[in-house]
Amino acid sequence: MDHKNDRRFAQTLARGIQVLKAFRPNDGPLGNLELSERTGIPKSTISRLTFTLSALGYLEHLNTFEKYRLGPAAISLGSIANATIPFMENATEIMQSLATDVKALVGLTMRDADRMLITHCWRPFNAPSIWLNVGFRLPLFTTSSGLTFLSSLPEGSDKTLMESYKGKSDFDEVAVSKAVIEGRNNLMTKGFNAASGNWNPTINAVAVPFRSPSFTEPLVFFCGAPSDMISQEQLDKELGPKLAEHVRKLDIV
């Protein structure tokens, strides 16, 4: 949703937050030029923003390299946000047991504009590292997490959200609308939604929505693995039903 024409919208604050969101989980320090390229904000403006964010502790300035990384204030803010999720203690035990059982990555996502932000991950014990980490942003319109989010919205809310992304080069309204209808049917009949290589041909995943009174929008749990480890049949017969079962446990506790 575009708020830029709203008089209450603070453009400078929005740009500062945009700089913070430019950092990715596997990044090293970033310079002003890299931040400008990622955000589309002019380098002269980026310089003022990074100076201010560093002064406030949200960025740390590495003088030797003339680059920046997230600072203690940003890290603290993330920790505080995580601590306010009321069901997380129970979810950690439940989802870790699932990850260990099915030997696949389990994660929790929430919508961040046109992406699904991974806020928590649970990995199988004694297994090699799996491709996604906390802080990674999944596409909203082509992944099991994103399409499950859209499919779990009240009728009409999904269309309102999609309307705001019309005209973007990576948004196919016809394909997304069809996937949302199919997703609603999957959630009603199976309790989960599957995506076999829709976003990345090497990844298969299932997703289940979860509603918490602490959040205005549904959250989405996903479970997935590389396609050479998990087949479409395993998604439908094992991972999907087990993920739905484990999410239901959160409703009980």
Residue range 27-51, pLDDT digits in tens: 889 999 999 999 999 999 999 999 9
> What was the pLDDT predicted at 62?
93
- The whole-angstrom separation of Cα 194 and Cα 203 is 11
The confidence score (pLDDT) of residue 160 equals 81
d(CA 230, CA 197) in angstroms, rounded, equals 11
pLDDT value at 195 more than 60: yes
Share of the chain above pLDDT 70, in %: 93
Cβ-contact 107, 221 below 8 angstroms = yes
Instruction: Read off the pLDDT of each residue in 72-96 and give the average, rounded to a whole number.
Output: 89
Q: Residue 203: what pLDDT?
A: 83
Domain limits, CATH 3.30.450.40, in the chain: 85-252
Name the band, by pLDDT with cuts 50, 70 and 90, for residue 79.
confident
Question: What pLDDT does 64 receive?
Answer: 85
- Phi, psi torsion values for 241, nearest 5 degrees: -60, -40
- pLDDT at residue 130 above 90? no
Query: For residue 129, is pLDDT > 60?
Result: no
| Spatial distance between the Cα atoms of 84 and 78, rounded to a whole number of angstroms | 10
> Count of CB atoms within 10 A of residue 125's CB?
8
> Which two tokens mark 98?
């699932």
More confident residue, 156 or 144: 144
Check residue 2 and give its pLDDT: 59
Kindly report the pTM of this predicted structure: 0.85
pLDDT reported for residue 185:
94
Q: Which amino acid type is present at position 183?
A: G
CATH class (in words) of the domain with range 85-252: alpha beta
- The CATH code for residues 11-76 is 1.10.10.10
**What mean pLDDT do residues 180-195 have?**
92
First-to-last alpha carbon distance for the chain, in angstroms, is 35
Mean of pLDDT over the chain: 88
What's the CA gap between 241 and 184, in Å, rounded?
16
Residue type at 230 in one-letter notation: I
The residue that leads in pLDDT, 135 or 42, is 42
Domain with CATH 1.10.10.10 in the chain: 11-76
